[in-house]
Amino acid sequence: MDLRVQKAPREDHELPDSMTSPFLQCIEQGCERRYPLDAKEHLCSACGALLDVRYDFSQIDAKSLSKVWQQRKMSSAITDQSGVWRFRELLPFVPAGTQVISLSEGRTPLVEVNRTGEWAGVQLSIKHQGNNPTGSFKDLGMTACITQAAILGSRVTACASTGNTSASMAAYAARAGMKAVVFVPFGKISTAKLAQALEFGAVVIEMGDNFDQAFRMLRDLTDELGLYLVNSLNPFRLEGQKTIVCEILEQRDWRVPDYLVLPGGNLGNVSSVGKGLQELQQIGVIDKLPRLVVVQAEGANPFFTMIATGADEIVPVQPRTEASAIRIGNPVNWKKALRALRFTDGLCESVSDEQIFEAKAALAKDGVGCEPASAASVAGIQKLVQSGKMEDGADVVAVLTGHQLKDPEISIKRRSERELAQQRLHVEPDIDKLRAALESVMLQSA
């Protein structure tokens, strides 16, 4: 089957010609070797460093951009309905006439959470990426990366995952008519995420007991077997994810917050957000930057440790946390993440599982659910305010990366016996017993 994308039959699927000439470039200062967009390498063959997708944005008129983006919201074209491709001037790696592989991702709400804000000590809004087609922020990166896989004529895509990347890749690969193979740690990802990947037709290989091990083994085989690797070391993933910055700022009428906070695992998302901010500033859409904050779980915090100790290199750890999505001990994107924090005068924090679940409970009081990893961002904010590293009352946006139903078991497991005794009542189908139970419930709200 030929998976090369054909010229789209409908005009509204088409992307315009770009004035730019994109290329891949090694991020290492002093190397900066360039590669064509269709290069096989995900890493620099000269020095082994990560690659960026680079563009010449000099022809872009910053003044008209935000208007064009706004106008597209009224259009029903699939590229305009997508919260990634609506900002396509920032993604000119896609040739004119390409049909993108999209599920109308992005377009997620920015919601004020006053109770949680009070709990954390800041003025807080959350950008809920759980409202994406497969329930996590990964869909933003996947539409870009699977579109690139289609442009290259790839037939089999692969990733190692703590669950969300695999669910997202499986969905977008299915849509593109590609085979998906996912490597996950054995018994260590939530049933909901596993079910998603299986339902979308992926082959799931369960191996080892952590992400890092699965990722290392997969990387050894991708080139040999010609698999298209979609982990976040693939620079096209980060291109899609960077558009979250446009959505957030547009939703705030382009008022830049003081801080933008994300949880960190493999550190792809913070890297992409940093790149998005840098490009928006370079083009002239914004003239101020938020300070980026990345929050790791205490049992999987090698990036935090590196920064806190002033070390030059990351030292991998055996990851341990109940926030399974960020249970990663050897984050591949740490150099890009460091670049993002330096560029935005950013911060890194580390929080315990206890603090993560307290933050999750605080969000629940605002009617907002998320998976545990996502709540790390909110836990980190409270910790930074308490230690005086973030100003009391600062204007903060926290990214919630995954949907509450991604990990339902943990929500029940984490409730105390007292809470469950009040909330989960087993009542016999007897009207008097039911009345007594309801009376006790009414006393609770008195």
Q: How far is the CB of 218 from ligand F0G (least distance, A)?
A: 12
The CA-based diameter of the chain, rounded to the nearest angstrom, is: 79
Q: Which residue has the tokens 């009352």?
A: 393
Q: How far is the CB of 339 from ligand F0G (least distance, A)?
A: 14
CA separation for the pair 244, 231 (Å, rounded): 18
Q: Which is nearer to ligand F0G, 151 or 328 (CB)?
A: 328
Partner residues linked to 24 by β-bridges: 35, 53
Question: Which class for 243: exposed (0-12), middle (13-18), buried (19 or more C-beta within 10 A)?
Answer: buried
Q: Which is nearer to ligand F0G, 261 or 373 (CB)?
A: 373
Question: Which class for 87: exposed (0-12), middle (13-18), buried (19 or more C-beta within 10 A)?
Answer: buried
Question: Which class for 222: exposed (0-12), middle (13-18), buried (19 or more C-beta within 10 A)?
Answer: middle
Q: Which is nearer to ligand F0G, 151 or 273 (CB)?
A: 273
Q: How far is the CB of 269 from ligand F0G (least distance, A)?
A: 4
Q: Which is nearer to ligand F0G, 99 or 324 (CB)?
A: 324
Q: Are 317 and 300 spatial neighbours (Cβ–Cβ below 8 Å)?
A: yes
Which residues are within 8 A (CB) of 225 and not within 5 positions of it... i.e. 6 or more apart? 156
Q: How far is the CB of 29 from ligand F0G (least distance, A)?
A: 23
Which residues are within 8 A (CB) of 380 and not within 5 positions of it... i.e. 6 or more apart? 261, 263, 293, 295, 349, 350, 351
Q: How far is the CB of 25 from ligand F0G (least distance, A)?
A: 21
> What is the binding site for ligand F0G (CB under 6 A)?
136, 138, 161-165, 232, 263-269, 325-326, 371, 373-374, 401-402
Q: How far is the CB of 340 from ligand F0G (least distance, A)?
A: 11
Q: How far is the CB of 374 from ligand F0G (least distance, A)?
A: 5
Q: Which is nearer to ligand F0G, 15 or 51 (CB)?
A: 51
Q: Which is nearer to ligand F0G, 87 or 211 (CB)?
A: 211
Q: How far is the CB of 160 from ligand F0G (least distance, A)?
A: 7
Q: Which is nearer to ligand F0G, 93 or 334 (CB)?
A: 334
Q: How far is the CB of 410 from ligand F0G (least distance, A)?
A: 12
Q: How far is the CB of 406 from ligand F0G (least distance, A)?
A: 7
CA separation for the pair 201, 293 (Å, rounded): 36
Closest CA to 162 of 140, 136, 184: 184
